[in-house]
Structure formats: C-alpha cells, structure tokens
Amino acid sequence: MIVRLTDSSVKEPLQRYRSQAEAELASVLDWWMQYIPDDEDGFHGEIDRYNKLKADAPRGLVLYSRILWTFSAAYIHTRNREYLFMAERAYRYLIKHFQDTVNGGMYWSVDRHGQKLIDRKQVYGIAFCIYGMSEYYQATFNEQARDKAIELFLLLEQHSRDKKEGGYFEAFAANWQLVPDVRLSEKDANEKKTMNTHLHVLEAYTNLYRIWKNEVLAEALHSLLVVFKKRIIDTATHHQGLFFAENWELRSSVISYGHDIEASWLLYEASEMLGNPEVLHIYKDIVVKMAIAVLPAIDNDGGMWYESETRTGHWVKEKHWWPQAEAMVGFMNAYQLTGDKIYLKYSQRSWDFARQYICDKENGEWHWGVDEYGNMMEKEKAGFWKCPYHNGRACMEISKRISAILQ
C-alpha cells in the first residue's frame, strides 16, 4: 500500500473507525459462536433474522468454508483461542462430510446429519474451500489443510480451466463431467462462465499463493488477472460483466455494484501477491477507476444499492449487507492507493450506514438488508449464503489497513 498518514485531522477519526471495527468483529463472532454450533460436530444450516433455528436446513459448502476462513483469520488477527476452536470444528466437518473420496473435490451440500445431498462440483464452492483451507493452514500450520487446498487447486486446473479460451467453467457433475445447468442459484443466468466464480477463484488462489509459492499457481493467478483485464472488466465503464458464453461473449447487461467494489480490492491484492511491478502499476489504475465507477450506486444515506440493468435503466433498490461491507474495504483501498480523502469518506459512510441500518443492535450479527423504503428484508441471518465472511473480513481489513496508515 502507498499512503501513510500526513494529515493529523484524520488521525482521530481513523482511530475511532478502527476501534468500532474491532468491537463489531467481536460482536459478530460472538453471535456465531452462540447460535451456529449444533449439538454434534458441526453447524446449523440456517437461522432466521429473529435468531430462530431452522433445524432441517441443508448445510452448504460455502457456509462451512466461509466459517473456516473467518474464524481462522480472526484467530490470526486476535489470538483468541475460542476462534481457533470454531475453525477446527469447521475444518473437521468439511473433511469428514463434504469430501468426495471417490471422484475428488467437495460436495455442494449435505443434510443436517452430514449425509451427501447435492454432489455436483460447483467451482465457486470449491474456491471457497481452497480459501478457507489456506487460511486455516496459516492459523495452525496443519499440513493436511494445505495439502487439501493444493489438491483442490490441481483439480480445478485439470477439470475446470478452459485451456482454449481462458478462464474457468462454472460447474460439473460429481464425476467432473459437464452438466447442462451450471447455475449457482436460481437468479443466475445459465452460462458457462461467470464473473462471480472467477473473482472467488482469484481470491482463493491469492490466499493459496501466500503459503505455496508454486510456479504453476503463479501462472494461474496471473492468467486470472489477464482474464479480468481483457474479458470481464469493461474498459469504457470500468464495471464488470456478470455472465459469459464459453467464448467470452457477454450475456448480461446487469451491473453488480457490490461485486465491482469487492473486485477492486481483491484484484489489487492478487497483483500485490504476485509482486510484479508492471502488473501492480496496471491494476492500481484499474481498481481506482472501478471504485469511482460504483459511486452512482451510493445513496444519500451512504448505503450502496444492489444492482442496475443498463438496457432498461431499472435499479434493484435494495441495500444488502455484503455490498456495504465490501464498500468499507474497497474505498479504504482506494484511499490507500491515492491519498484522496474522498474515498476515506465513502468507506466511513458505508460503515455508518451498516451500523445504523444493518447491524442488529438487539440480537447480534447483521440483517440481510433493507429495501428502498428502509424496511428490513425478511431473510435469514445465517444460512447457505449468509455467513460471517463479508462483515467479519471487512472489520479485520479496516483494522489492519488503518493500523498500516497510522504507522
């Protein structure tokens, strides 16, 4: 990172911001430790926004992998051994219940008893498992966790990477054969390549490279940066396309502002990890432009709208929890790269919005979000997609980045 504090007028606000992020991290993780462990060896699959358990909910690979990453990272950040126990629980459950010992890889979901439910290979989910296993190794130096992350990386390179057109195919059957319906969720387009999966493969490979400086991995990570620059990011608008055909023909006109601001800092992190000055220079320019491009989605209250459709001009005027968390980090990253205090202001406003409207001050954790009228959305607080990863990570990133600025 480039900027160091030279303006004494922002020192106190930064210190306050850091203290609030640290307190919120502890609050969020306390909630997860209280409500999510089951009576056996795992975690419940869903808890609603009123903290009521849905006992028969399926348990997803994404949920468990994100819990693994979050509590591993939190242990590294704080050395609180309660966080380590949660990470160990997630790791053991993933190995025991999600592993496909016949075909390799990880199941997409299991039932409440840990039995295989959906055995397809969703690259998005496997990427999060690599991300979590890599972080768990950094917390524990568990060689089996590192070996599992490497094994999953090699499986993606073997089966998912498109060696002709570049990038990664979206999903496979249990035996790694292509399937006709590759959608991650019902709201997604059924296309062979997606921005979302590529972003989280890049995120996973970046974290794996921290612990395994391998030339094959370095080449794969660099190729992902090339894919984002040449295929996914629109050089005119600095937004990302969402869905693509096999040959990278764009099949969507939707802008996802949360993914744009999230990508802005993850892409720079990947460039930093590779340590190539030329790539780093290129991506510094790209990611700052991406941060600027999302500013029209920031409402007067500091919250970020979810999506817009460029062909129709329609906006999805909802403010979900995770874009606010990613905006905290993405704008702080832009401030560190430029020294322009406007980005610091947007980062702080994202947090102020989340604290006022999204954080559940009575019952803990963050709500899913609010609609355009400020009404709370009736969605779960923990579940297949709702995990401590976005908000927990944002709190840790803000703390670490402010500490670096104040040095």
What are the tens digits of pLDDT across the range 51-73?
A: 999 999 999 999 999 999 999 99
Q: Give the angle subtended at the CA of 105 by the CAs of 101 and 106, to the nearest 5°.
A: 90
What class, spelled out in words, does domain 56-232 have in CATH? Answer: mainly alpha
Mean predicted confidence (pLDDT) in 253-273: 98
Is beta strand 193-194 parallel, antiparallel or unpaired with respect to 318-320?
unpaired
Looking at residue 9, what is its pLDDT? 81
CA atoms lying within 13 Å on the CB side of residue 106: 34
* Closest among 90, 157, 89 to 123, alpha carbons compared: 157
pLDDT digits (tens, 9 = 90+) for 368-399: 999 999 999 999 999 999 999 999 999 999 99
As a whole number, mean pLDDT of residues 193-201 equals 98
Question: Domain boundaries in the chain?
Answer: 56-232
Closest to 399 in 3D by CA, of 76, 5, 22, 13:
22
Residue 7 has pLDDT above 80, yes or no: no
> What are 301-317's pLDDT values in tens digits?
999 999 999 999 999 99
* pLDDT of the residue at 268: 98
Is the pLDDT reported for residue 2 higher than 90? no
Quick one: which of 111, 168, 156 has its CA closest to 129?
A: 156
List the Cα angle 58/59/65 in 5-degree steps: 160
Query: Per-residue confidence at 136, pLDDT binned at 50, 70, 90?
Result: very high
Say how far apart CA 237 and CA 229 lie, in whole Å. Answer: 13
Query: What is the band of 355 on the pLDDT scale with cuts at 50, 70, 90?
Result: very high
pLDDT for 30-47, tens place per residue? 999 999 999 999 999 999
